[in-house]
Amino acid sequence: MWFTSQSFRTRPIAREEFPEMLENFESFPALDVFICTADPYREPPGNVANTALSVLAYDYPTEKLSIYVSDDGGSELTLFALAEAARFAKHWLPFCRENGVVKRCPDAYFSSDNFVKNSQSHKIKMMYENMISRIRNVMERGKVLLANNKDKDITDVFMPNLVYISRQKSKTYPHYFKAGALNVLLRVSRIMTNGPIILTLDCDMYSNDPSTPKRALCYFLDQTLWPNLAYVQTPQRFHGLNWADIYASEFRTIGRMNPLGMDGLCGPNYMGTGCFFRRRAFFGGPSSFVQPEIISGRVANKSIEAQTILEQAHQVASCNYENQTSWGYKMGFRYGSLVEDIHTGYHLHCEGWKSIFCNPKRPAFLGHVPLSLNDVVIQIKRWAMGLLEIAFSKYSPIIFGMWHLGPIMAQCYTHYAFWPIYAIPLTLYAFVPQLALLCGVPIFPK
């Protein structure tokens, strides 16, 4: 493990962006934001609503911003929370613009030291608290909650699209968990808006900087990087940690240090959240385009609520749509591992794509750390199983990665793939010295 970890130290790179230099605001590419949730009890709908509100308030042309929320649990409570968030957004977005609010997650803003108490902010806070208190069950399922060519805020400014999606599932067909949900979002968004840039977010990872999309565009609009650039990854940062972080919940090495080293090679691995993708990267390598079977239904001046658009969206979200297709293998987010994030980034790098690590001084996103031992064990177990699936598959970094990525970059992925095995020496070191001491057996030479 020590040997493979040295690959992260060979060529580290630190980058800086200057989003204020971007001009021609109206010519920005369309941005589709994917937010995934699955369990309303482990992932409270209030958190999902806060995450959606934080990205709805981005400093980005509203007519080019669309937010898609995938609810794999099909929770009526989550749908109701988003419906309430859509109503509250009509007041929240103008408030952020008029007052220069940077922390645009309502829950984070109202609990921060930056919260300025006046009559206007007090009114908005009361509306937010009323919204949270109204999040109860609702007897609807799946619809467009906001349409940017129809819905306006209280200042008569059009709002971004907000679309709720709950895909069809069946015991007859595998659903592939989060990777399957993201591929459904890929297809549905292609039908509705077809934005060339995609941001993937976990439901508990809210935006902490409204200028983050512009920082990503600094790389996507660079013509020297564009031909081979697949995604721009931001670090995973968390709030609510104590200053010492005695439980190592921040994952600083994995989330902030190792990506700096990989950035000097092919680029950082995909971390599952806080990542801006180029849609084209999901359909073959830079020089080998895989033609998707979906034709975009987006037509100028045609609402995403049009019946034909909704019918196509329902069709591509059906449980049997991927049967006997290349989805998950040659197109979209990759199947074959529980850790679809590393698996997808690994395959994109093997196809010839590059990635960039964007690490601004102000965290782009802030998330929640697991609050109980049970949640930590479940999370680590899923990571360990998924990484070992990659390590012992035909796409093992030792062989497949070495051939496609070269020795140093392959070592980086080898370090991740075999990381769970590190538990064996750690466990021995945790128990053997104590047992030897109790039994009076020397473990070191005299």
Residue set of the binding site for UDP-alpha-D-glucose: 43, 72
Q: Indicate the pairing of strand 197-202 with strand 31-37.
A: parallel
Separation CA 283–CA 277 (nearest Å):
12
Annotation says 222 is catalytic: no
3-state DSSP helix/strand/coil percent for the chain, to nearest 5? 45, 15, 40
Q: How far is CA 302 from CA 14, 184, 192, 354, 427, in A?
A: 43, 22, 10, 35, 60
Binding residues are 43, 72, 178, 202
CB neighbourhood size of 385 (10 A): 13
Burial label for 439, CB within 10 Å (0-12, 13-18, 19+), is exposed
**Are 204 and 51 a contacting pair, CB within 8 Å?**
yes
Maximum C-alpha span of the chain: 83
- CA angle centred on 249, ends 246 and 4, rounded to 5°: 105
Q: Which one is catalytic: 72, 107, 153, 263?
A: 72
Q: Answer yes or no: 341 catalytic.
A: yes
Task: Give the closest residue to 52 by CA, choosing from 86, 101, 96.
Answer: 86
Sequence length of the chain is: 446
Q: Which of 151, 209, 263, 341 is catalytic?
A: 341
CA distance 222 to 214: 12
Binding residue ranges for Mn(2+): 178, 202
Scan for tokens 């001046």, then name that residue: 301
**Nearest residue to 66 via CA among 147, 182, 178, 151:** 147
The residues annotated with a catalytic role in the active site are 72, 341
